[in-house]
């Protein structure tokens, strides 16, 4: 039982800690996931934006390079003169400085004049249409942006270019290979500048960068945006350029250690970004690792979506961060639970140890000890419990002593009663003879005085015996109470009236201080009057002329064990008082301090018997030389004890 109490306390502590821990884990975990992964998504979105900027910068760089070249000294003249070697030289320098993969000049009709590369001077073969040049000629202004150039065009520019552009498509695991086995066209950043001279278009200077298998943009993005940050040996950031849905430039590594060129984007991304031209962020499995990916469409100069720019951040870093934080949460919770267990044990010990000691003390009391060991004094409520327990044991001790006394007294009274009844009957018969014969003899006229005096003594002695036997009988008989509602104030007045003459003779003044609102008591009027008379007679005997006897009554604030209310009657005298050694014998049968022949020693014993049968008590306070006070407490609705 004690262990279960201890376990309950510990379990409660644990329960609370566990609950708080779990709730904070759930809430904290949720918030953490949201904020950490949200942060990661934000970062990816920002990184994508930065990547886009870099992509666009690249285009502007081409523009600038082309413009500077057209403005170069002697460029127009060289063009007019069709000095192709000079033009190729100029374009070669430009391409070298700007990292262009191809560059060339067309005439005002779009026909190639010259270009860099292996076949700088075109042959007779007609040049395939170049959308940038076409747009620059049509709009007579700078044309710039992304274009998709056919394999034919690329071959025309340079066979190596077409070779580089070719990307074999690697089907996704579990996906049926599409009919298209390879990408042959090129995703190109390109610009075309119309060459104007005196309001006439002389031709178009064009140039561009083939993005297929180009590592510069994606690696620059990784280097600039992610600063080549690595996590567990893997690059944290990924940048990819898709032509349609095929990776043509990326730094996502392939399983063979190279770059994952030729792999396709998921169907979902293809639909959302490529087909619907939306920006999109999602968690995606890139080969073996989960990334938080952001995609946006790449549009060509005709505003047609031709590819996708994708950025990814390794999710693991954020997931690990989340797990690390959650682990700390869990550790704190576990530590809290351990602390709660320890605290629970400690608290349970604090509570249970005194309780156990009290239980042992109770067991000691059960087997009769009234001085049980309850151990050291505790704190808090336990002190109250210990104090109450001590008081209870002390009260039990007092009660036991009292009940033993009472038992002894009632046993003594019972045996005295039985004896008295027997003795009374046996003595009264011969006593009748003694009384009769003595009185008969006393009636004789011829007695000498000495004999008469002797007979008189016999008669008086016999009267005494008669009184003693009467007292014995009164004491021994437990007569039933004839109860009625009694006005005790009135009863006291009546009783005092009976003794008024005696008081006058003795020179004692009697007074009464009644309570005005004294409640009536259900009692045996006659027997209770005997009680008052007995105490009053005792008071008279204890006083001398000039002393006072004062009666008083009040509605008692005291209730008895049964919770009954009662009244108090005090009879105080200013007489000689009772020596302390006599106080506890006062109510014993046959105890008397009066001269022989002046009392039977049964008066107060009978008095106490009557009060007790009414359910009341008598208390005596006395001081030798200053008088005594008898206080009777009697319940309103007395019940025999």
Partner 1 sequence: MKILVVDDESIVLESCRRVLEDRFEVIGAGSAEAALEALRRETIGMILLDIKMPGKDGMSLLKEVKEKWPNIPVIVMSGYATTETVEQVSRTEAATFIAKPFTPDELVEVVAKVINKEGKP
Which positions lie near partner 1, rule CB under 8 A?
421, 424-437, 439-440, 443, 462, 466, 470, 473-474, 477, 479-480
Minimum Å distance from CB 527 to partner 1?
Answer: 9
β-pairing verdict for 143-149 and 112-115:
unpaired
Minimum Å distance from CB 436 to partner 1?
Answer: 4
Minimum Å distance from CB 477 to partner 1?
Answer: 4
Question: Residues in the chain, how many?
Answer: 641
CA distances from 324 to 24, 288, 505, 552 (A): 15, 22, 108, 87
Closest CB to partner 1 among residues 181, 439:
439
Closest CB to partner 1 among residues 424, 521:
424
Largest CA distance in the chain: 204
Closest CB to partner 1 among residues 9, 610:
610
Minimum Å distance from CB 530 to partner 1?
Answer: 11
* Residue that is written with structure tokens 């009384």 in the block: 435
Q: Is 243 exposed, middle or buried (0-12, 13-18, 19+ CB in 10 A)?
A: buried
Minimum Å distance from CB 475 to partner 1?
Answer: 10
Does residue 574 contact residue 547 with C-beta atoms inside 8 Å? yes
Closest CB to partner 1 among residues 310, 603:
603
Minimum Å distance from CB 471 to partner 1?
Answer: 12
Minimum Å distance from CB 400 to partner 1?
Answer: 34
Minimum Å distance from CB 606 to partner 1?
Answer: 12
Closest CB to partner 1 among residues 281, 477:
477
At 253 the three-state DSSP class reads: strand
Does residue 477 contact residue 609 with C-beta atoms inside 8 Å? no
d(CA 529, CA 482): 13
Closest CB to partner 1 among residues 35, 432:
432
d(CA 584, CA 259): 115
Full 3-state SS string of 452-514: HHHHHHHHHHHHHHHHHHHHHHHHHCCCCCCEEEECHHHHHHHHHHHCHHHHHHHCCEEEEEC
Query: For 119, phi and psi rounded to 5 degrees?
Result: -110, 75
Minimum Å distance from CB 441 to partner 1?
Answer: 10
Minimum Å distance from CB 424 to partner 1?
Answer: 6
What helix, strand, coil percent values describe the chain, rounded to 5?
A: 50, 25, 25
Closest CB to partner 1 among residues 436, 457:
436
d(CA 279, CA 285): 18
d(CA 550, CA 535): 12
CA atoms 198, 203, 207, 212: torsion sign: positive
Closest CB to partner 1 among residues 125, 443:
443
d(CA 606, CA 445): 43
Closest CB to partner 1 among residues 191, 424:
424
75, two tokens: 């460029």
Closest CB to partner 1 among residues 315, 474:
474
β-pairing verdict for 112-115 and 102-107:
antiparallel
Minimum Å distance from CB 385 to partner 1?
Answer: 52
Closest CB to partner 1 among residues 270, 470:
470
């Amino acid at each position: 039982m004690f262990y279960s109490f201890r376990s309950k306390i510990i379990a409660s502590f644990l329960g609370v800690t566990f609950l708080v821990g779990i709730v904070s884990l759930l809430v904290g975990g949720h918030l953490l996931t949201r904020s950490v992964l949200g942060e990661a998504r934000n970062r990816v979105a920002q990184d994508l934006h930065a990547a886009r900027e870099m992509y666009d910068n690249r285009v502007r760089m081409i523009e600038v390079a082309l413009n500077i070249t057209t403005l170069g000294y002697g460029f127009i003249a060289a063009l007019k003169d069709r000095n192709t070697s000079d033009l190729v030289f100029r374009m070669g320098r430009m391409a070298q400085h700007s990292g262009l993969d191809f560059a060339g000049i067309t005439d005002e009709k779009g026909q190639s004049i010259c270009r860099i590369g292996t076949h700088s001077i075109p042959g007779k073969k007609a040049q395939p249409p170049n959308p940038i040049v076409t747009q620059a000629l049509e709009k007579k202004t700078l044309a710039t942006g992304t274009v998709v150039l056919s394999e034919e065009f690329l071959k025309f520019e340079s066979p190596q270019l077409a070779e580089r552009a070719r990307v074999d498509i690697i089907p996704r695991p579990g996906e049926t290979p599409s009919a298209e086995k390879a990408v042959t066209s090129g995703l190109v950043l390109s610009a075309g500048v119309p060459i104007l001279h005196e309001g006439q278009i002389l031709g178009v200077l064009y140039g561009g960068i083939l993005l297929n298998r180009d590592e510069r943009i994606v690696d620059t993005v990784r280097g600039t945006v992610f600063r080549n940050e690595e996590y567990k040996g893997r690059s944290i950031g990924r940048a990819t350029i898709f032509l349609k849905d095929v990776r043509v430039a990326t730094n996502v590594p392939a399983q063979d250690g190279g770059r994952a060129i030729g792999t396709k984007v998921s169907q979902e991304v293809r639909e959302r970004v490529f087909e619907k031209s939306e920006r999109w962020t999602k968690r995606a499995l890139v080969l073996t690792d989960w990334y938080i990916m952001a995609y946006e469409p790449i549009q060509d100069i005709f505003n047609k979506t031709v590819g996708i720019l994708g950025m990814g951040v390794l999710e693991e870093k954020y997931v690990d961060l989340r797990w690390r934080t959650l682990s700390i949460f869990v550790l704190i919770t576990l530590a809290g639970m351990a602390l709660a267990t320890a605290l629970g044990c400690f608290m349970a010990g604090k509570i249970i140890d005194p309780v156990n000691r009290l239980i042992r003390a109770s067991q000691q009391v059960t087997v009769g000890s009234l001085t049980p060991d309850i151990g050291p004094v505790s704190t808090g409520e336990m002190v109250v419990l210990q104090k109450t327990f001590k008081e209870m044991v002390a009260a039990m001790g007092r009660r036991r002593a009292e009940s033993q006394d009472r038992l002894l007294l009632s046993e003594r009274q019972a045996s005295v009663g039985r004896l008295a009844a027997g003795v009374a009957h046996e003595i009264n018969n011969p006593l009748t003879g003694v009384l009769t014969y003595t009185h008969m003899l006393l009636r004789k006229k011829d007695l000498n005085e000495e004999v008469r005096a002797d007979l008189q003594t016999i008669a008086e002695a016999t009267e005494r015996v008669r009184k003693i036997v009467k007292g014995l009988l009164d004491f021994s008989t437990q007569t039933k109470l004839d109860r009625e509602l009694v006005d005790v104030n009135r009863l006291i007045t009546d009783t005092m009236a009976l003794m008024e003459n005696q008081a006058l003779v003795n020179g004692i003044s009697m007074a009464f201080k009644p309570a005005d609102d004294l409640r009536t008591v259900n009692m045996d009027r006659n027997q209770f009057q005997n009680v008052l008379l007995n105490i009053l007679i005792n008071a008279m005997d204890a006083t001398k002329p000039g002393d006072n006897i004062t009666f008083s009554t009040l509605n008692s604030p005291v209730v008895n064990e049964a919770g009954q209310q009662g009244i108090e009657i005090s009879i105080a005298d200013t007489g000689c008082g009772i020596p302390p050694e006599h106080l506890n014998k006062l109510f014993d049968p046959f105890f008397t301090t009066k001269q022989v022949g002046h009392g039977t020693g049964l008066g107060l014993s009978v008095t106490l018997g009557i009060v007790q049968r009414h359910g009341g008590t008598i208390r005596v306070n006395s001081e030798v030389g200053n008088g005594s006070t008898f206080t009777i407490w009697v319940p309103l609705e007395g019940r025999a004890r």
